[in-house]
Amino acid sequence: MLPIYYVNSAARPDRRTFAEDQFARLGLSPTRIEALTPAQIAPEVIDRHCGARQPDQFSPVQLACNLSHQAAWRAFLAGGAPAGVFLEDDGILSSQLPQFLGLLEAGFPPGTDLVRFETFLRPVRLGSKPVRFGPFELRRMIGGDVGTCGYAMTRPMTERLLADPRLNQQVIDGYLFSRTGTLIYRHRVLQLLPALAIQVSIADAEAGSVAVSDLDAARSATWRSRPASRWHRLTGNLRQAARDARYFAGDLTGLLGPRVVVPFAP
C-alpha cells in the first residue's frame, strides 16, 4: 500500500479519534502529521505571505494549513515510495478507498501525477474524456474545485510543488485544484468518480464538533478583506476565460458542456 499521511492538530483530539476509527475499520495505517499553528511560523514568513501588501492575502491560520500539508509532503519524500496519499482529519472515507489505493500503487494513469478523490458535492467542470481505472472513472479537472481532504500524487510532482515559488501565494486547495491557481492548467490533474472522501461538514450537518473547522473564521475574515467590485470580478473572469480557452481548447465539449456533481460512494 502507498504511504498515507493525515494532518491533525493536537488541539483537535476529537478529529484524531474520528479519523483513526475510520483507518482501523478500513485497514489503513496512516502517519499522523502534527498540524502547525501560526505561533510556530516565523513572523517574517507570516508578513511575506499574509501582509497587507499581498494582493491575494490570506490569514496566518490558512498559511499554517498550507505548511502542514507541505510537512506531510516532506515526510513522504523522506521515504522511498513512488507516490503518497494525503488526507485531513475531517474526511469521511469510503469503504472502497483501499481498493482504489491498491490500484494507484500499481501505477498512476499515464501522464498523471496528481489525483483528487474528494468531492464537495457542487457542480464542477470536468473533461469529457474519461479514463477507466478499475471500477472507477477519472476525468481531467477543468473548472477546478476546493478541498484537500483526499488526494494522491507522485514523487516528481511533490518535488516540483515544493520547489515552486508560487506555492504559498494562496490557500493550498486553491493552489492545487482551483481555477485561481495554475496547477490544473500546467498539469493533467484528475478527479475520481465516484469520490471516496468527503468533508464531514459537507456530508453530515449533524456531525457535531468534528464538523467545526478552525479555519472557518479565518476564511470569512479573508473573504471580507478582498476587493469585491464589479470591475475586479469582471477582469478576473475574463482572465480565467482566456486561460481556459488557451489550455482546454482541445476539449471544447468538457469546457463548454454542463458541469458535473461528483457523487460520494460510501
Question: 217-227 pLDDT, tens per residue?
Answer: 555 554 445 55
Low-confidence ranges of the chain (pLDDT < 70): 52-57, 205-207, 214-229, 232
pLDDT of amino acid 244: 86
CATH topology of domain 4-204+222-261: Spore Coat Polysaccharide Biosynthesis Protein SpsA; Chain A (3.90.550)
Q: What pLDDT score does 53 carry?
A: 57
pLDDT at 52: 62
Identify the H or E element spanning 177. Answer: helix 172-177
pLDDT at 226: 53
Strand ranges (E), 77-224? 83-88, 91-93, 114-116, 123-124, 131-133, 136-140, 150-154, 189-193, 197-199
**How much is the pLDDT for 212?**
76
Q: How far apart are CA 262 and CA 123, in angstroms?
A: 7
Query: What pLDDT score does 229 carry?
Result: 66
Give the pLDDT score at 223.
Answer: 46
pLDDT for the residue 77: 98
